[in-house]
Amino acid sequence: MTNVLIQPCASAVARRNWRKTVDQMIPFSESPYVSALTTSELDRLAKLHDHGSAMFWGRTSFHDKTMSSVQTGDVVLFTWKKHIRKIGTVGASFRNKEFGDLLWGESDNSESFPNVFSLLEVADAELPYSVLWNVPGISHGDTFRQGRVITDLRLTDDILEAIGVRTPEGEVLEKKIRQAVDESLQSNVELRLERVLKERTEYQAPARAVQVDRAEARLVHEYDEVHPEINFVRVSSSAGVTDLQTSGHEEAELIEAKGDNTRRRVREAVAQLLQYAPENEDDLDRLTALFPAQPSGADIRYLHRLGIDCVYRTGPRLFEREAAPDSHRQYMRRIWNNKIGG
């Protein structure tokens, strides 16, 4: 499984360390660094970074216990000024005080960073903390001052979905499920996915950088910002985590956002809205699909037939709503709010 590290970088020391070992590559295979590494550490680094150099980050001994769970492929959120500024992928993680002091030591009595990990890649993010605060399980207003290593499978999934990160682990899991389905159909035997899903908790992610798609998260944030009069929340249920939902507003609205306006995304939005709605604790008055641009006329008509509004971005901080006919929406509300089997 993929863990999530939240790493604040606002202090003067953190900014100095960033300039030293993230803004520039460290030639770990050369002197003086190579002599501070064990054979095992050097081998692991060389396999992941075949050019003999890498970016590095370090954490103090305060984090010894939590860093023991960090592994290749984990996702690091580097934060400062209440934003996720960068998203990195963990390469090799190990504890080596001598190597850490070579990287970040300033004097004999300077702070030490013995928990070291290399970075496969660091991508720009520029996402506000509210993207994290809206994830069920994360406290609103949390500044993550001490940093965090999140190992809860459901919480890490929800965080990664909220910030638009697709991991190699997710790709491999999808491939294994497709293979299991294919083998079941070819062999005419019962499909059993329990083993595939159980193996996920012990799965080591491939040594590849994660893919970051910030479009959807930024769209949700902008729409939230232009409606300060509405208190939007994210709600978790057995169906998943909603993008936006009104809380304490006179009209209960559920919104599903997509990163583009293609027909595939329109269909995905419909499927998710129709799954989330009956699982919701509240009766809903309106379902809305949110897009970064206007979908085709045929796709908007498809949404309207199901009583779903279409909202799309027309410019910076500008959105247009094409509401479904009220008769369609009122008819569909009985289906959205049908809690049979719940």
Q: Is the model's pTM score more than 0.85?
A: no
Helix 263-279 with 297-305: angle, nearest 10 deg: 20
Which letter does DSSP use for residue 63 in this model?
G
Q: What is the pLDDT along the chain (342 residues), one digit of tens a residue?
A: 789 999 999 999 999 999 999 999 999 999 999 999 999 999 999 999 989 999 999 999 999 999 999 999 899 999 998 899 999 999 999 999 999 999 999 866 678 999 999 999 888 888 888 889 888 889 988 989 889 999 998 899 889 888 888 765 656 556 655 666 656 656 655 545 455 444 444 445 555 555 666 678 888 888 998 998 888 887 777 767 788 888 766 789 999 999 889 998 999 999 999 999 998 888 899 999 999 999 999 999 999 999 999 999 998 899 999 999 999 999 999 999 987 655
pLDDT at 165: 81
pLDDT at 196: 45
Domain 215-336, CATH: 3.40.1350.10
CA angle at 236 for the pair 233 and 238, rounded to the nearest 5°: 155
**CATH fold match for the domains 4-166 and 215-336:** no
Domain 4-166 part of CATH 3.10.590:
yes
In contact, 33 and 26? CB cutoff 8 Å:
yes
In contact, 132 and 70? CB cutoff 8 Å:
no
User: 44 by DSSP, 3-state: which?
Assistant: helix
Domain ranges within the chain, ordered by starting residue = 4-166, 168-202, 215-336
Picking from 254, 249, 235, 248, the residue whose alpha carbon sits closest to that of residue 337 is: 254
pLDDT at 7: 96
